[in-house]
Structure 1
Amino acid sequence: MKRNVLVIGAGGVAHVVAHKCAQNNKLLGDINIASRTVGKCEAIIDSIKEKGNLQSPGVLRAHQLDAMDIEATKALIRATKSQIVINVGSPFLNMSVLEACIGTGAAYLDTAIHEDPSKVCETPPWYANYEWKRSQACKEAGVTAVLGVGFDPGVVNAYARFAYDNYFDQVDSIDIIDINAGSHGRYFATNFDPEINFREFTSTVWSWENSQWKANKMFEHGKEWDMPVTGKSMAYLTGHDELHSLSRFLDVPNIRFWMGFGEHYINVFNVLKNLGLLSEKPVLTARGQEIVPLEVVKAVLPDPASLAAGYTGKTCIGDLLKGTKDGQPKEVMIYNTCDHEECYAEVGSQAISYTAGVPAVAAAILIAKGTWDSKCMVNVEEQDPAPFIALMNNMGLVTRIKDEHGDRLLEPMREMASSEPEKRFATA
């Protein structure tokens, strides 16, 4: 059994992760939070105390840390006796934090693929460019590393795995749809780190079509989706992390990611991009200063964490799978809806941060119990999704399924008992 958690990062998702770890500290043990700005960590701790979210008396401590410094991160892991590290800082940190975990034996979790600050939308599969290169090192060190265990990527991978194993003889397509029907009341803002948000869309967006990678332009392909609770929304074909592992581990020829955008967001995005303000490449100002335009845009936009107090409405994120069962066409939607105001009441966050943070803590609990303690590097769909989905049902992220039998709560063990699943993995 593993105990004591080090949370790296102090943004909106880290805020949720820290709250949820605190709510489960009898099992998880000491909770330490580290960031370059220790004051942000202290503010999260104050929030936990204000909400009364510490399950039982225990350690809640803030630390200053530059997580790019591998040796400093190792030292903090050892000093805090942390056996689980949840990396919810910038994706630029992933490889450094992973290396520190390999060096100390701590389990590693993150919620997004590593990124090089100087590159955007790299050649797929993205995991092969970074994390998967350290897979053998994790195995040799006996280190559990669970990659991309937010919502998307993360929960949507588990949904895909569960449906693939339990409802189909053959899956022809997986469409992952992410709709935020909420309103934050600001002229323009992003729901998570603006720099990371824009980097996803400024260059090529990749989808998995006919068992090969297909390059598209952002907002080139749009479709209206009628989702549970949130209703009809326009969503656009977008590149995203989970495609890069699902295409490897599931034998499915078509895997796509769709994200909802309003006209206002698209208009502002296009203006910023056309002006060159979303570039990750440095430019020289008239005063001789070298700046990165994208970093300037990030600096002037609202901090995503500041949106929480006034956020209203709901999100709906899910997987639509189509294929055949017993020679007949079959369609299954597995999804979650989340309410911004309810998230704020519980942990002081908006739903986007909540849906990314809760799964990371659920995975940490499964590692602590030994259920997901694989002692090697895995993506979420390589693990048994049933205990993960069942645990989240009791942690604030309830999963539902919609198929020919209706729309109902997804209770994994009951569904598995009735469907006689057969695991089918693609050749890696």
Structure 2
Amino acid sequence: MKKNVLIIGAGGVGQVVAHKCAQHNRLLGDIHIASRNINKCLAIIDSIHEKGALQNRKGVLKAHRLDAMDTHATRELIEATGAQIVINVGHAFVNMSVLQACIETGAAYIDTAIHEDPTKICETPPWYANYEWKRKALCAEKGVTAILGCGFDPGVVNAYAALAVREYFDQVDSIDIIDINAGSHGKYFATNFNPEINFREFTGQVWSWQDGQWKSNKMFEVKRTDDLPVVGQQTAYLTGHDELHSLSQHLDVPNIRFWMGFGEHYINVFTVLRNLGLLSEKPVRLDNGQEVVPLQLVKAVLPDPASLAPSYVGKTCIGNIVKGTKDGKPREVFVYNVADHVEAYAEVGSQGISYTAGIPAAAAAILIAQGVWDVRKMVNVEELPYQPFINLMNDIGLPTQIRENGEDALVSFSDEALAAAA
């Protein structure tokens, strides 16, 4: 059984992961938090103590300064802390360096998004094959557990897709992943997570999996409106997203799409920034000779996503609309979670978007520590048993519901089902 956790990243998601790991530190052991800005790590530790979140009050909880782009420094920190589980919730640019450090030390690796090259936006699919999947054979050879994309989307929605394909349908025709944030932070304009990563998702081509092949659209070109549980009528736009790249390869489903909700104000501001060239990742030279990356400048002037939490109100609704046939008849289900911004802040000091991304990563660490997900190879979430994952999230803050024919029910699994999945 593995124990001792190193969390890389001290933003809003890192705060949620740290709180949830602290709540389970009798199982997980020592908890270490690392970032380039050690003060952010110390602030998270203070918040854990303030809320009395440490299950074992005498447990180790330490902060470290780390440039996670430096594989050697990351490896040294893993070895110095004795961490056997590394949760990478840092910038998507550091995935490959942290993964390599885990391969070299034997520590289990968890992340929440695909690696990104700072100089490239919206690369040709499938992104995992461009980066992480190139280390699959090495992980298997070294017996290193590497769980990719274990946030909510990607992550939980991958588990929902596997659940639907394997238990609710004989044949699945389409999976539409819907991500709605019906909350309000009260700011003129802000992003719910790292602005640089957020904008990069939406400035290039939109790739979706349709009729068994990749199709390209423009951002905000295609939209849909759905009547969803709790949040009601919501409009979402076809968007490229991480989970499409693994689900399209692992599930025999011809149509897999991702839709994200945007308000008109967000779209208008985004469009102005893009048209002015302020979302470019390419450096520009000022009159004084200084070089500036416009996208990084915009990031610097926008509110820190973590600062939005105290004033955030409203709810999120994220899930999969799945259509296909069962016993020769058409069937449609919506597997989903609803999270509350105010409740998330009260528990862990973060807003709901961070809460939904952080809990699954902490759940993966718990399942690795228990041996349930310690698979000693590289996998995406849909390749793992979803039953213990969904049950655990029900217990620690993200309950899964299913809607069919207007009726909602909790999704949970019996001890017999868990044993069968093991």
TM-based fold match above 0.5: yes
Q: Aligned equivalents of 1:247 and 1:413: distance in 2? A: 29
Deviation at 1:404, TM superposition (A): 3.9
What's the secondary structure of 1:235's corresponding residue?
strand
Q: Aligned equivalents of 1:415 and 1:320: distance in 2? A: 27
CA deviations 1:6-26 (Å, max 9, x no partner) are: 000111100100000000000
* Paired amino acid for 1:18: A
Which position in structure 2 is the counterpart of 1:236?
237
Which position in structure 2 is the counterpart of 1:367?
368
* Paired amino acid for 1:49: H
Q: Aligned equivalents of 1:403 and 1:308: distance in 2? A: 33
Which position in structure 2 is the counterpart of 1:35?
35
What's the secondary structure of 1:412's corresponding residue?
coil
Structure 2 residue 420 is the aligned partner of structure 1 residue 408: no
Deviation at 1:405, TM superposition (A): 8.1
Which position in structure 2 is the counterpart of 1:198?
199
Give the superposed CA RMSD.
1.3
Deviation at 1:354, TM superposition (A): 0.3
* Paired amino acid for 1:368: A
Structure-2-length-normalised TM-score: 0.98
Distance change >3 Å, CA 415–CA 240, structure 1 → 2: farther
Which position in structure 2 is the counterpart of 1:84?
85
Which position in structure 2 is the counterpart of 1:304?
305
* Paired amino acid for 1:243: L
* Paired amino acid for 1:289: Q
* Paired amino acid for 1:249: H
Distance change >3 Å, CA 201–CA 405, structure 1 → 2: closer
Deviation at 1:128, TM superposition (A): 0.4
* Alignment map for 1:3-402 (pairs within 5 Å): 3-56=3-56, 57-402=58-403
* Paired amino acid for 1:347: V
What's the secondary structure of 2:267's corresponding residue?
helix
Segments of 5+ residues of structure 2 without an aligned counterpart are none
Q: Aligned equivalents of 2:415 and 2:359: distance in 1? A: 23
What's the secondary structure of 1:97's corresponding residue?
helix
Q: Aligned equivalents of 1:287 and 1:256: distance in 2? A: 46
CA deviations 1:148-181 (Å, max 9, x no partner) are: 0000000000000011100100000000000000
What's the secondary structure of 1:394's corresponding residue?
helix
* Paired amino acid for 1:111: T
Deviation at 1:376, TM superposition (A): 0.3
Deviation at 1:299, TM superposition (A): 0.2
Q: Aligned equivalents of 1:84 and 1:356: distance in 2? A: 18
* Paired amino acid for 1:6: L
* Paired amino acid for 2:140: K
* Paired amino acid for 1:361: A
CA deviations 1:311-334 (Å, max 9, x no partner) are: 000000000100001110011110
Q: Aligned equivalents of 2:144 and 2:355: distance in 1? A: 27
Q: Aligned equivalents of 1:226 and 1:199: distance in 2? A: 29
Query: Which consecutive segments of 4 or more residues in structure 1 shift more than 2 A?
Result: 412-417
* Paired amino acid for 1:52: G
Identity %: 72
Q: Aligned equivalents of 1:414 and 1:296: distance in 2? A: 52
Deviation at 1:416, TM superposition (A): 5.9
Q: Aligned equivalents of 2:386 and 2:405: distance in 1? A: 22
Q: Aligned equivalents of 1:289 and 1:234: distance in 2? A: 42
Q: Give the count of matched residue pairs.
A: 419
Deviation at 1:29, TM superposition (A): 0.3
Q: Aligned equivalents of 2:22 and 2:149: distance in 1? A: 22
Which position in structure 2 is the counterpart of 1:425?
none
Q: Aligned equivalents of 1:416 and 1:252: distance in 2? A: 25
CA deviations 1:9-55 (Å, max 9, x no partner) are: 11110010000000000000000000111111000000100111111
Q: Aligned equivalents of 1:155 and 1:415: distance in 2? A: 22
Deviation at 1:403, TM superposition (A): 1.4
Q: Aligned equivalents of 2:415 and 2:32: distance in 1? A: 37
Q: Aligned equivalents of 1:415 and 1:202: distance in 2? A: 47
* Paired amino acid for 2:67: D
Segments of 5+ residues of structure 1 without an aligned counterpart are 422-428
Q: Aligned equivalents of 1:176 and 1:406: distance in 2? A: 19
Q: Aligned equivalents of 2:200 and 2:408: distance in 1? A: 36
CA deviations 1:317-352 (Å, max 9, x no partner) are: 000100001110011110000000000000000000
For the 8 Å contact 1:67–1:73, the answer to whether it is kept is: yes
Q: Aligned equivalents of 2:177 and 2:49: distance in 1? A: 36
* Paired amino acid for 2:20: K
Which position in structure 2 is the counterpart of 1:424?
none
Deviation at 1:411, TM superposition (A): 1.2
Q: Aligned equivalents of 2:146 and 2:83: distance in 1? A: 14
Q: Aligned equivalents of 1:161 and 1:187: distance in 2? A: 39
For the 8 Å contact 1:166–1:416, the answer to whether it is kept is: no
Q: Aligned equivalents of 1:290 and 1:226: distance in 2? A: 47
Q: Aligned equivalents of 2:9 and 2:415: distance in 1? A: 37
Q: Aligned equivalents of 1:416 and 1:369: distance in 2? A: 17
Q: Aligned equivalents of 1:182 and 1:69: distance in 2? A: 37
Q: Aligned equivalents of 1:405 and 1:283: distance in 2? A: 53
Deviation at 1:412, TM superposition (A): 3.0
What's the secondary structure of 1:74's corresponding residue?
helix
